[in-house]
Amino acid sequence: MTPPDLINVLTSVLTQASQVLHTPHGFVALVTPDREAVAFEMGTGDLDFLGHEGLGPCADVTEQVWRSGRPVVMDTDGPPEEASALAGARLRAVAVVPLRAGGRTAGVLGMAYDADADRTFGTAELEQLCGLCHLAAIALESARLYAQEKRSVALAERLQASAQAINQSLDLDVVLPAILDQLREVIDYDSSTIQLVDGPRMRVIAARGFAPDEIGRVRLLAEYPYNELLATCSEPIIEGPVPSTHLWRMEPHLSASRSNLGVPLVVRDRIIGALTVDSHKPNRYGADDARTAMAFGRHAAAAIEHARLLASERAARHHAERLRAATQALSSTIDLQEVFALILSELRKVVPYDSASVQQLTGQRLELIGGHGFRNLPNLIGLSFDVLAEDNPNREVVRTRAPVILTDAPASYPNFGTDPHREADIHSWLGVPLLFGDRLIGMLSVDSKQPGFYTAEHAGMALSFAAQAAIAIENARLFAAAQRELAERKEAQQRLNYLANFDPVTGLANRTLLGDRLGQALATARRENKLVGILFLDLDRFKMINDTLGHAAGDQLLKAVGQRLKHTVREGDTVARMGGDEFTLVLPQLDTVEDSERVAEKVSDAFARPFVIDGREVFVSTSIGVSLFPSDGADLEVLLSNADAAMYWAKGQGGNMHRFFTTDIVRAVERLDIESDMRHALDRSELLLHYQPLVNLCTGRVVGVESLMRWRHPRRGLVLPDDFVPLAEETGLIVPFGAWALGEACRQGMAWQLAGFAPLRVSVNVSARQLSANLVKTVKSALTDSGLKPSCLLLEITESILVQNPEAAISTLRELNALGVALAIDDFGVGYSSLSQLKRFPFDMLKIDQSFVRDIPDDSNDAAIVTAIIAMAHALGVSVVAEGVETTAQRALLKERGCDAIQGRLVCPPLTAAELAAAFFDHGPQ
């Protein structure tokens, strides 16, 4: 729209010109904004061409004036064409004068006289007209400048409003029409559009000046090559007048369009679309309008880009949210199968599909481990195929480790279409790798029935999802592996526990577990005042069975015995194997001793039936020892060892019986132990002799030495005769022991002589059993072997021997006496021998028993007895030795009563041969 000020100027110029020239006919034409033409602006009288096409008869002359810048007058008297054109318009003459200001022609002013006026334009009229035009041009120029200024203010205001619209809303449907509305305020248009490049076409996204039902049809604009031009050229395009026969005559409303202005929408040097305006008037748009449109175009482009960024950010956020939800779901389980199921269900929320699969890669093979929407899925699960061998899209995924999209899978892979497991109408396919770090562990694939369904965006989403899925799978695998390892370790631990507590042959409790159970049983019994019974079993003659039937049969028997024992006793009782053929039963919570007796009998009875080993009946009996808490011991070790001792006792008595523990058994058992050890004492050289000197009471000189036997026991240490000689006598071992002592004493006596000491008589104690076991022969060989003279040997025989079997003793003693060996009566005074008996034996010496010496001189009775014995011995012509002399008082009394010699700790305790020589023979050989 022309600014109103300009209209005023032109109107006033026309009015003045009419008054000055006395004619009502005048017009003004102005150069169009595009400067391509001069267009009618306003007119009066017959020169008002409004509603006409162009300037009628004035067109040519106007063009001429505009181009030349000089006034032109037309007259009916002029050239014939001129005359006929003027005559046709009923005009007599026309004068057209340029409107010139600032050195350029802005338009023309034309005036005319009609035919009735009968006058023409002379020099005077022309001059007047030119003067008016000059003033008009100046006014016109200032109006134009003013308008321009106004327009740039308006433009600034509109641009600001448009920017505000962008700021106020991010919705393109609101912002873009608002921009077009603001544009209308500064650029005159009949319709306008904002269009986006959409592939090879343009898509209208906002429009003004179209009826609502026309908006859809605006798309046809895209057919117009002008848009393609815009899409490739960043310069504004101004067109007009547009011929009405052009392509868009298809659009009735556009057929009126005469001017067209389009500017590109540019974002970061890229044309994303166009802003266009149309006018029904021709030549409406010029460079100024283009600049203005460009400014609004920039706004539109910014708004579009802003919205796009926002949308993509929203989409990204939306995707991120879906991914996060999926990740969360995937991390809700560590069960591998559940993870696979979740992968398929969660994948659907991220990437839509009709069917989908999870496949795991092992070496070069892909295995289907989960699927959705496949036919006959159970048969498919676990199916694996060689990735390299098969021609399918999976191979591409494995090879490239990147997403693969097929818009029409059956077309790309013929096998795909014939796969009987897939629905027949599957078209789109998307496969993504399952990458854990840089390790390919499998792949995911989705199918859609819609051709070309999957986009790069789907691929991106699926890939992000697959990364999460891979983590979930690996986590579940690691967890499963850890579980397995834990289970294995537990099993190993259980195995160890079992071995630690159970006997592998019989499956019964072993010694360790028995200890535990017994400990518990004792604690409970103590609390509840009960008895605990311990049965210690040892199979009789098991060794024989083992040796004849073999070890395997032996093990079978042990197992069978264990089973039978278990069935014989109660549930709460413990049956344990202690090793070898020994078993132990713990009977907790017994009330009476009889209870344990009953169980022992029951167990004995259980062995009455044979055991079947290798199809052969085997009879085996057992010896059982029983100990009871608290009577036979307070703790585990004592109770077990007492039960063991009782068993040992039962076995010693022939086996196949049970025995309760008693204190007698301890002693008996100890004796049995000693006896068995004693049998080896000789061959293990555990026997030795100590020597104690006999000293003459008058001279104080050593008159002999008594040999006293000792046993160096490996565990008990040095054992004295009282602790083993009686047993040796009982068992008859005293015979070989005594023979050894004889030989050893003679050897030592001879050794001392050979060492240069004065000959000493060596005493050897002799037991009753030795007397009847060819003592003479033994003595002879001892003397012969050592080379000792018989007079240097003295045999000590207890008084009791003479009482028990005097006849046998007398003959032997006489024989010995005949050999020249000296004899002594030992322990005299306790054996009740009579003097008449004594007289029949050939004695050299009498030894008063220690019991009489011990209490002298205080005990007057003993002193009297000792005095009597000495007198009697001297009467028989036998020397007297007192034993066990420990005090000087004892010695004094003995000396006073005429005792010949003494023996005892007062003089010297029994010593080793070496010690004795050192103590008594140190003054050298005599």
Give the residue from 891, 898, 844, 903 showing the smallest Cα distance to 870: 898
Contacted by 692, from Ca ion, ligand C2E, none: CB < 5 to 8 Å by type: ligand C2E
Q: How far apart are CA 514 and CA 293, in angstroms?
A: 104
Kindly tell me which of 162 and 707 has the beta carbon lying closer to Ca ion: 707
Kindly tell me which of 586 and 824 has the beta carbon lying closer to Ca ion: 824
Specify which residues 39 forms β-bridges with: 30
Radius of gyration of the chain (CA): 71
Tell the smallest beta-carbon distance from residue 616 to ligand C2E (Å): 52
Q: Which residue is nearest to Ca ion (CB)?
A: 796
Tell the smallest beta-carbon distance from residue 711 to ligand C2E (Å): 10
Contacted by 96, from ligand C2E, Ca ion, none: CB < 5 to 8 Å by type: none
- Per the CB < 8 A criterion, the answer to whether 206 and 219 are in contact is no
Residues near 188 by beta carbon (within 8 Å), at least 6 away in sequence: 1, 279, 284
The torsion of the CA quartet 512, 517, 519, 521, rounded to 10 degrees, works out to -160
Contacted by 503, from Ca ion, ligand C2E, none: CB < 5 to 8 Å by type: none
Kindly tell me which of 451 and 736 has the beta carbon lying closer to ligand C2E: 736
Tell the smallest beta-carbon distance from residue 713 to Ca ion (Å): 22
Kindly tell me which of 346 and 827 has the beta carbon lying closer to Ca ion: 827
Tell the smallest beta-carbon distance from residue 845 to Ca ion (Å): 11
Kindly tell me which of 196 and 797 has the beta carbon lying closer to ligand C2E: 797
The Cα diameter of the chain in Å comes to 221
Tell the smallest beta-carbon distance from residue 767 to ligand C2E (Å): 4
Kindly tell me which of 705 and 733 has the beta carbon lying closer to Ca ion: 705
- Per the CB < 8 A criterion, the answer to whether 737 and 707 are in contact is no
Residues near 170 by beta carbon (within 8 Å), at least 6 away in sequence: 306, 307, 310
Contacted by 721, from Ca ion, ligand C2E, none: CB < 5 to 8 Å by type: ligand C2E
Kindly tell me which of 732 and 756 has the beta carbon lying closer to ligand C2E: 732
Kindly tell me which of 16 and 800 has the beta carbon lying closer to ligand C2E: 800
Q: How far apart are CA 608 and CA 623, in angstroms?
A: 13
Residues at the site binding ligand C2E, with contacts judged by CB under 6 A: 692, 708-709, 720-722, 725, 734, 738, 741, 765-767, 796, 826-827, 850, 883-884, 886, 904-905, 909-910
- Per the CB < 8 A criterion, the answer to whether 58 and 38 are in contact is no
Tell the smallest beta-carbon distance from residue 883 to Ca ion (Å): 5
Q: Locate tokens 């050299």: which residue? A: 844
Tell the smallest beta-carbon distance from residue 587 to ligand C2E (Å): 45
Q: Locate tokens 């060492």: which residue? A: 755
Q: Locate tokens 């001189």: which residue? A: 857
Q: Is residue 635 exposed (0-12), middle (13-18) or buried (19+ Cβ within 10 Å)?
A: exposed
Contacted by 911, from Ca ion, ligand C2E, none: CB < 5 to 8 Å by type: none
Contacted by 133, from ligand C2E, Ca ion, none: CB < 5 to 8 Å by type: none
Contacted by 738, from Ca ion, ligand C2E, none: CB < 5 to 8 Å by type: ligand C2E
Q: Is 427 left (phi over 0), alpha (psi -120 to 50) or beta?
A: alpha
Kindly tell me which of 57 and 884 has the beta carbon lying closer to ligand C2E: 884
Tell the smallest beta-carbon distance from residue 774 to Ca ion (Å): 21
Tell the smallest beta-carbon distance from residue 764 to ligand C2E (Å): 6
Say how many CA atoms lie within 13 Å of 422 toward its Cβ.
Answer: 23
Contacted by 905, from Ca ion, ligand C2E, none: CB < 5 to 8 Å by type: ligand C2E
Kindly tell me which of 677 and 883 has the beta carbon lying closer to Ca ion: 883
Contacted by 904, from Ca ion, ligand C2E, none: CB < 5 to 8 Å by type: ligand C2E
Kindly tell me which of 368 and 694 has the beta carbon lying closer to Ca ion: 694
- HEC profile for 384-442? EEECCCCCCHHHHHHHHCCCEEECCHHHHCHHHHHCCCCCCCCCEEEEEEEEECCEEEE
The torsion of the CA quartet 751, 752, 754, 758, rounded to 10 degrees, works out to -150
Give the residue from 16, 327, 310, 303 showing the smallest Cα distance to 164: 303
Tell the smallest beta-carbon distance from residue 723 to ligand C2E (Å): 9
Q: How far is CA 913 from CA 254, 357, 824, 926, in A?
A: 151, 102, 22, 18
Kindly tell me which of 625 and 704 has the beta carbon lying closer to Ca ion: 704
The answer to whether the Cα torsion of 461, 467, 473, 479 is positive or negative is negative
Where b means 16+ CB within 10 Å and e means fewer, 763-793 reads bbbbbbbbbebebbebbbebbeebebbbebb
Contacted by 709, from ligand C2E, Ca ion, none: CB < 5 to 8 Å by type: ligand C2E
Specify which residues 693 forms β-bridges with: 705
Q: How far apart are CA 590 and CA 171, in angstroms?
A: 95
Contacted by 626, from Ca ion, ligand C2E, none: CB < 5 to 8 Å by type: none
Contacted by 48, from Ca ion, ligand C2E, none: CB < 5 to 8 Å by type: none
Tell the smallest beta-carbon distance from residue 719 to Ca ion (Å): 17
- HEC profile for 219-234? HHHHHCHHHHHHHHCC
Kindly tell me which of 41 and 827 has the beta carbon lying closer to ligand C2E: 827
Kindly tell me which of 107 and 910 has the beta carbon lying closer to ligand C2E: 910
Kindly tell me which of 739 and 750 has the beta carbon lying closer to ligand C2E: 739
Q: How far apart are CA 852 and CA 865, in angstroms?
A: 8
Tell the smallest beta-carbon distance from residue 627 to ligand C2E (Å): 34
Q: How far apart are CA 650 and CA 658, in angstroms?
A: 6
Tell the smallest beta-carbon distance from residue 598 to ligand C2E (Å): 47
Kindly tell me which of 39 and 824 has the beta carbon lying closer to Ca ion: 824
Kindly tell me which of 538 and 796 has the beta carbon lying closer to Ca ion: 796
Contacted by 907, from ligand C2E, Ca ion, none: CB < 5 to 8 Å by type: none
Tell the smallest beta-carbon distance from residue 766 to ligand C2E (Å): 6
Residues at the site binding Ca ion, with contacts judged by CB under 5 A: 765, 796, 826-827, 883
Task: Say which amino acid occupies 446.
Answer: V
Contacted by 886, from ligand C2E, Ca ion, none: CB < 5 to 8 Å by type: ligand C2E
Give the residue from 219, 201, 206, 447 showing the smallest Cα distance to 303: 206
Tell the smallest beta-carbon distance from residue 887 to Ca ion (Å): 18
What are the backbone dihedrals phi and psi of residue 444, each rounded to the nearest 5 degrees, phi first?
Answer: -115, 145
The bridge status of strand 822-828 relative to strand 793-798 is: parallel
- Per the CB < 8 A criterion, the answer to whether 855 and 862 are in contact is yes
- Per the CB < 8 A criterion, the answer to whether 166 and 136 are in contact is no
Specify which residues 848 forms β-bridges with: 828, 882
Tell the smallest beta-carbon distance from residue 751 to ligand C2E (Å): 18
Tell the smallest beta-carbon distance from residue 827 to Ca ion (Å): 4
Contacted by 684, from ligand C2E, Ca ion, none: CB < 5 to 8 Å by type: none
Contacted by 632, from ligand C2E, Ca ion, none: CB < 5 to 8 Å by type: none
